[in-house]
Structure 1
Amino acid sequence: MKSIKTFAAVIALSVLPLTSFAQSISATGPTLDEAEAQIAAKAQALDASYTITEANFNNGVHMTAQLTQ
């Protein structure tokens, strides 16, 4: 029984670092390039990479991205 609890604890702790840093950020701008530049600057300030998850065009651009480390 002790080995099962230990195994479960190891699995839980090994998954934790993968999910410990996931942050969603957004930016707005008149063009795609300007909105993405804002996302890139925020990601660089946090020493993270980013994946754009959404972009809307409606009298400007609203972009959302997921930061990962």
Structure 2
Amino acid sequence: MKTIKTFAAVIALSVLPFASFAQSVTASATTLDGAEAQIAAKAQEMGASYKITEANFNNGVHMTAQLTK
């Protein structure tokens, strides 16, 4: 029983660092360039790189990106 608890704790702690590095951010602007500039600024502020996962243009731009270190 103690071995199972230890194994479960090791698994949980080993997954935690990967989850803490990825963060989703959003930005809204009137142009695609403006929204991407906001995402890039947030990524630079956090010392991370970014990958745009969604962009929607409907009377303005709403963009979502995933930040990774």
Q: SS at the partner of 2:47? A: coil
- What does residue 65 of structure 1 align with? 65
Instruction: List gaps (5 residues or longer) in structure 1.
Output: none
The separation in 1 between residues aligned to 2:62 and 2:46, in whole angstroms, is 21
Could you list the per-position Cα deviations for residues 8-55 of structure 1 after superposition, in whole angstroms to 9, with x for gaps in the alignment? 111111001111233322112222122111101111101112221211
Instruction: List gaps (5 residues or longer) in structure 2.
Output: none
Listed as ranges, the matches of 1:23-42 within 5 Å are 23-42=23-42
Cα RMSD, aligned residues only: 1.6
Structure number having the greater helix percentage: 2
Listed as ranges, the matches of 1:1-16 within 5 Å are 1-16=1-16
- What does residue 54 of structure 1 align with? 54
Number of residue pairs aligned between Structure 1 and Structure 2: 69
Q: TM-score, normalised by structure 1?
A: 0.80
- What does residue 20 of structure 1 align with? 20
The separation in 2 between residues aligned to 1:66 and 1:53, in whole angstroms, is 7
Q: TM-score, normalised by structure 2?
A: 0.80
The separation in 1 between residues aligned to 2:38 and 2:45, in whole angstroms, is 11
